[in-house]
Amino acid sequence: MSYLVTGATGLLGSEILALSPESVGLSTKNCNLTDTSRLDFCQNGKFNTVIHCAAKVGGVKANTDYVADFFDSNVRMNMNVLQACKEGRFKLVSVLSTCIYPDSAYVKYPLSEDQLHLGPPHHTNFGYAYSKRMLEVQSRAYRQQFGCNFTTVIPNNLYGVNDNYDLSSGHVIPSLIRKFHEAIINKKKEVVIWGTGKPLREFTFARDAAQIILWLAENYNGEKPVNIGNPEQVSIENLALAISGEMRYSGTIRFDNTKPDGQFMKPSSNQFLRSLGWKGEYTPLREGLKETINSFKVRYPNVRGVMI
Ligand code: GDP
Determine how many CB atoms are found less than 10 A away from the CB of residue 284.
12
Compute the distance between CA of residue 27 and CA of residue 55 in angstroms, rounded to an integer: 10
Cβ density class 197-221: b for 16+ within 10 Å, e for less: bebebbbbbbbbbbbbbbbbbeebe
Pocket test for ligand 1, best of 194, 255, 256 (most atoms within 8 A of CB): 194
Segment 238-288, tens digit of pLDDT: 999 999 999 999 999 999 999 999 899 999 999 999 999 999 999 999 999
For residue 121, how far is its CA from the centre of ligand 1 (angstroms)? 17
Q: What is the pLDDT of residue 255?
A: 97
For residue 240, how far is its CA from the centre of ligand 1 (angstroms)? 11
Determine how many CB atoms are found less than 10 A away from the CB of residue 234.
15
Q: What is the pLDDT of residue 45?
A: 63
Please name the residue whose Cα sits nearest to atom 14 of ligand 1: 261
Cα distances from 61 to residues 125, 249, 269, 292, in angstroms, run: 9, 25, 26, 23
Please name the residue whose Cα sits nearest to atom 27 of ligand 1: 172
Compute the distance between CA of residue 74 and CA of residue 93 in angstroms, rounded to an integer: 15
Q: pLDDT band for position 28 (50/70/90)?
A: confident
Cβ density class 1-23: b for 16+ within 10 Å, e for less: eebbbbbbbbbbbbbbbeebeeb
For residue 259, how far is its CA from the centre of ligand 1 (angstroms)? 9
Q: pLDDT band for position 40 (50/70/90)?
A: low
Compute the distance between CA of residue 122 and CA of residue 170 in angstroms, rounded to an integer: 19
Model confidence at 308: pLDDT above 60: no
Compute the distance between CA of residue 226 and CA of residue 238 in angstroms, rounded to an integer: 28
Model confidence at 167: pLDDT above 80: yes
Q: What percentage of residues in the chain have a pLDDT greater than 70? A: 96
Question: In what helix (H) or strand (E) does residue 34 lie, and over which residues does it extend?
Answer: none
Pocket test for ligand 1, best of 56, 57, 60, 156 (most atoms within 8 A of CB): 60
For residue 236, how far is its CA from the centre of ligand 1 (angstroms)? 8
Q: What is the pLDDT of residue 264?
A: 94
Compute the distance between CA of residue 38 and CA of residue 54 in angstroms, rounded to an integer: 15
Atom of ligand 1 nearest to the CA of 58: 8
Please name the residue whose Cα sits nearest to atom 16 of ligand 1: 261
Segment 42-74, tens digit of pLDDT: 666 678 999 999 999 988 888 999 999 999 999
Residue 184 burial (10 A CB sphere; 0-12, 13-18, 19+): middle
Pocket test for ligand 1, best of 132, 169, 172 (most atoms within 8 A of CB): 172
Q: What is the pLDDT of residue 44?
A: 64
Q: What is the pLDDT of residue 281?
A: 98
Which amino acids are annotated catalytic?
128
Q: pLDDT band for position 95 (50/70/90)?
A: very high
Atom of ligand 1 nearest to the CA of 125: 3
Between vectors from CA 72 to CA 69 and to CA 77, what angle results, nearest 5°? 120
Selection from 265, 266, 278, 120 nearest residue 213 by Cα? 278
Model confidence at 41: pLDDT above 80: no
Compute the distance between CA of residue 86 and CA of residue 76 in angstroms, rounded to an integer: 16
For residue 60, how far is its CA from the centre of ligand 1 (angstroms)? 6
Q: In the predicted model, what is the mean pLDDT of residues 91-112?
A: 96
Separation of first and last alpha carbons in the chain? 34
Please name the residue whose Cα sits nearest to atom 13 of ligand 1: 261
Tell me if 208 sits within 8 A of 282, measured CB to CB: yes
pTM of this structure:
0.96
Cα distances from 14 to residues 6, 94, 265, in angstroms, run: 10, 15, 28
Compute the distance between CA of residue 210 and CA of residue 15 in angstroms, rounded to an integer: 6
Atom of ligand 1 nearest to the CA of 176: 23
Compute the distance between CA of residue 244 and CA of residue 241 in angstroms, rounded to an integer: 5
The DSSP symbol for 201 reads E
For residue 3, how far is its CA from the centre of ligand 1 (angstroms)? 32
Segment 196-255, tens digit of pLDDT: 999 999 999 999 999 999 999 999 999 999 999 999 999 999 999 999 999 999 999 999
Q: In the predicted model, what is the mean pLDDT of residues 77-100?
A: 95
Quote the mean pLDDT of the chain: 95
Tell me if 273 sits within 8 A of 224, measured CB to CB: no
- Write out residues with Cβ below 6 Å of ligand 1: 59-60, 99, 157, 170-172, 175-176, 193-195, 199, 201, 236, 259-262
Q: What share of the chain is helix, strand, coil (3-state, %, to 5)?
A: 40, 15, 40
